[in-house]
């Protein structure tokens, strides 16, 4: 699954003032992120919990038909109900989808054996390869390294997006799995150190707004130039933290509105970013020195926001 080495954006779902999907803005966002290695559609950053099955199908179809470079597409499909995931896998048109991203069952806090049984059932039912997704800060349960290593033996599970924030766990996964099992970062600020212990890339939030710049960070790390990667990432750390200050994707949608790509609207129970956050982001964006791509990037922003 070498097509999933590198940098992807967890693509947000733009909404209009009435809360409907803004497909014009989604088209802008896909074009803005076209330099990335692949897209993740309808992941958690896409507010998938608030999207209907019909809306997810429409978004997926739109992404497939607005993909001129034939970029690999990963589709988010998960639940805390194993039978529901299996049903969705059976009923969803996954033609043109290269893999699914399936989040660890949330809220119910299954045991490690329960997590293993869940993913084995999902992988058995899936017509496309499965990427595990460990995000204990949202699900309430961590997938232990031993659990991931056992699941890596399933022929239809090819890797894990790890947002545990635990580098030691990342090391254990990398050391305990086959060379072709992909450890993928789910934490933008930890991607460089995670690559240093064996990760092969990232599924990113910040790449929605800074696709060229953040892909450059990741590529430097993948090439073994950790000094350059760390230097570039250090310039983006404060801005990255601001993306999560009022929740995700509230922050990145606020930044995307500043850039003129989509509006900042989110669906309840999330609320739109504050004016204070917008003002703070405008100042931070204006102060980011974006080297060779500075003029290209700032041309996307409202002139007043980039002063």
- Active-site residue numbers? 133, 161
Report the distance separating Cα 59 and Cα 86, nearest Å: 20
Report the distance separating Cα 196 and Cα 200, nearest Å: 9
Nearest to 232 by CA among 244, 245, 215: 215
Report the distance separating Cα 118 and Cα 216, nearest Å: 36
Do the beta carbons of residue 258 and residue 285 sit within 8 Å? yes
State both tokens at 173. Answer: 């996964």
What is the three-state SS of the chain? Answer: CHHHCEEEEECCCCECCCCCECHHHHHHHHHHCCCCCEEEECCHHHCHHHCCHHHHHHHHHHHHHCCCCCCCEEEECCCCCHHHHHHHHHHCCCCCCCEEEEECCCCCCCCHHHHHHHHHHHHHHCCCCEEEEECHHHHCCCCCHHHHHHHCCCCCEEEEEECCCCHHHHHHHHHHCCCCCEEEECCHHHHHHHHHCCCCEEEECHHHCCHHHHHHHHHHHHCCCHHHHHHHHHCCHHHHHHCCCCCCCHHHHHHHHHCCCCCCCCCCCCCCCCHHHHHHHHHHHHHCCCHHHHHHHHCCCCHHHHC
State both tokens at 24. Answer: 């014009």
């Amino acid at each position: 699954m070498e097509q999933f080495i590198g940098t992807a954006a967890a693509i947000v779902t733009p909404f209009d003032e009435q809360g409907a999907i803004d497909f014009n803005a989604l088209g802008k966002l896909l074009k803005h992120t076209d330099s990335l290695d692949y897209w993740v559609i309808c992941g958690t950053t896409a507010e998938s919990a608030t999207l209907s099955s019909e809306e997810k199908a429409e978004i997926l179809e739109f992404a497939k038909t607005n993909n001129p470079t034939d970029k690999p597409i990963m589709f988010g499909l998960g639940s805390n109900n194993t039978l529901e995931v299996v049903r969705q896998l059976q009923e969803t048109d996954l033609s043109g989808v290269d893999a699914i991203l399936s989040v660890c069952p949330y809220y119910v806090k299954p045991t490690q054996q329960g997590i293993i049984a869940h993913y084995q059932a999902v992988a058995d039912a899936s017509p496309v390869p499965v990427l595990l997704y460990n995000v204990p800060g949202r699900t309430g349960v961590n997938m232990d390294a031993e659990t991931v290593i056992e699941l890596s033996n399933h022929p239809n599970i090819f890797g894990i997006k790890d947002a545990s924030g635990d580098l030691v766990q990342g090391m254990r996964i990398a050391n305990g799995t086959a060379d072709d099992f992909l450890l993928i970062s789910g934490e933008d600020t930890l991607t460089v150190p995670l690559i240093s212990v064996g990760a092969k890339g990232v599924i990113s939030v910040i790449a929605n707004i800074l696709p060229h710049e953040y892909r450059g960070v990741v590529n430097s790390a993948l090439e073994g130039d950790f000094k350059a990667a760390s230097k570039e990432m250090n310039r983006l750390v404060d801005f990255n933290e601001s993306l999560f200050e009022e929740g995700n994707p509230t922050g990145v949608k606020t930044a995307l509105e500043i850039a003129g790509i989509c509006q900042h609207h989110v669906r309840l129970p999330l609320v739109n970013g504050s004016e204070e956050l917008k003002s703070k982001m405008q100042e931070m964006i204006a102060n980011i020195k974006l080297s060779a791509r500075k003029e290209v990037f700032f041309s996307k922003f409202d002139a007043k926001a980039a002063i």
